[in-house]
């Protein structure tokens, strides 16, 4: 069920340059709150740590298309405890929210980069684990390959994690989005009176967030599609793992790749592995 869903390359408000920062923050801050409630990415944190150890900078994560920081507000400290050394998570975005004060970013492991960073630009040399949370679906296939290809060219690990699955089973969650926005808005931080006004007095936030949630669902790549992109790269020295799962009522799709001389899967074979939730064998 859901494998016959055709991917549609529509637009999201969150990615257009003309959207004012105050409206973009309605969407990105909501995602931070949703990630904090579900903590669905915790299950693959050991895989991120494993990929990070294959980086030229095993103490650093470069988060691309960060928005308001997504899940890193609660993931950073937990990942830090998995290493003997301190780690740093650098948040970057093509449209950085420069209204945010450094002190309000979150845990001490987080660092906000105020300069625009294009995730597809090969001129941006990035050392460390490159991550994209709830953002990879925004790229059409050719640009998505560029994002993966840049990490391979720079010989760095990369992790793509989405709080999404392109399956019909997600439709009820999408339909509940307006109600979820109304319920969760008082708990979103940082607190802003303008957010309350744009949610309850003039319902701009429910409209923006519901549209972006619907489009994100229709654009999300399935694990087999992510692996096909990985296979299309000149990256025989990379270990790739993709899959999908549900955790605490939240759907997740992921792809993780890292350079390794002996990239072994769980059964001792090298190459590509499909994670839990996808009934495909290790190749």
Q: Which domains does the chain have, with CATH numbers?
A: 14-168+220-274 (3.40.50.150)
Residue 236 confidence (pLDDT): 87
Q: Give strand pairing partners of 74.
A: none
Residue 280 confidence (pLDDT): 35
Residue 278 confidence (pLDDT): 41
Residue with tokens 């549209």: 211
Classify burial at 94, counting beta carbons within 10 Å of its beta carbon; exposed 0-12, middle 13-18, buried 19 or more: middle
- Tens digit of each residue's pLDDT, the chain (283 residues): 445 678 988 999 988 989 998 999 999 999 999 999 999 999 999 999 999 999 999 999 999 998 888 899 899 999 999 999 999 999 999 888 766 554 445 678 899 888 888 888 877 778 899 999 999 999 999 999 999 999 999 999 999 999 999 999 899 999 999 999 999 999 998 899 999 999 999 999 999 999 999 999 999 999 999 999 999 998 889 999 999 999 988 999 999 999 986 444 443 344 455 554 443 332 2
pTM across the whole model = 0.87
Residue 126 confidence (pLDDT): 82
Residue 277 confidence (pLDDT): 43
Total Cβ atoms within 10 A of residue 2: 12
Evaluate whether 258 touches 242 at the Cβ level (below 8 Å). no
Evaluate whether 218 touches 10 at the Cβ level (below 8 Å). yes
Cα–Cα distance measured from residue 128 to residue 88, given in angstroms and rounded to the nearest whole number = 10
Of 271, 242, 238, the closest CA to residue 254 belongs to: 242
pLDDT digits over 101-147, tens only?
A: 544 456 788 998 888 888 888 777 788 999 999 999 999 999 999 99
**Residue-level length of the chain:** 283
Residue 272 confidence (pLDDT): 52
Residue 125 confidence (pLDDT): 79
Q: Give strand pairing partners of 250.
A: 247
Cα–Cα distance measured from residue 54 to residue 123, given in angstroms and rounded to the nearest whole number = 22
Residue 189 confidence (pLDDT): 86
């Amino acid at each position: 069920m859901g494998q016959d869903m055709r991917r549609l390359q529509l637009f999201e408000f969150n990615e257009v340059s003309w959207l004012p920062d105050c409206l973009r923050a309605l969407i990105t801050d909501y995602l931070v709150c949703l990630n904090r409630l579900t903590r669905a990415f915790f299950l693959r944190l050991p895989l991120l740590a494993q990929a990070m150890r294959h980086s030229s900078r095993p103490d650093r994560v470069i988060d691309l298309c960060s928005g308001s920081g997504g899940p890193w507000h609660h993931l950073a400290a937990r990942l830090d405890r998995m290493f003997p050394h301190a780690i740093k998570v650098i948040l970057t975005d093509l449209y950085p929210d420069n209204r945010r004060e450094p002190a309000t970013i979150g845990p001490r492991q987080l660092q906000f980069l105020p300069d625009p960073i294009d995730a597809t630009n090969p001129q941006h040399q990035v050392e460390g684990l490159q991550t994209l949370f709830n953002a990879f679906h925004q790229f059409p296939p050719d640009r998505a390959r560029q994002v993966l290809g840049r990490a391979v060219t720079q010989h760095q690990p990369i992790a793509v994690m989405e709080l999404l699955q392109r399956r019909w089973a997600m439709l009820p969650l999408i339909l509940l989005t307006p109600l979820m926005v109304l319920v969760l808005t008082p708990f979103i931080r940082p607190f802003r009176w303008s957010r309350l006004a744009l949610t309850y007095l003039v319902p701009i936030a429910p409209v923006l967030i519901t549209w972006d949630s619907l489009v994100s669902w229709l654009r999300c790549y399935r694990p087999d599609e992510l692996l096909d992109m990985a296979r299309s790269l000149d990256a025989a020295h990379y270990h790739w793992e993709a899959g999908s799962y549900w955790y605490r009522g939240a759907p997740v799709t992921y792809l993780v790749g890292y350079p390794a001389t002996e990239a072994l899967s769980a059964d001792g074979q090298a190459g590509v592995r499909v994670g839990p939730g996808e009934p495909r064998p290790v190749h």
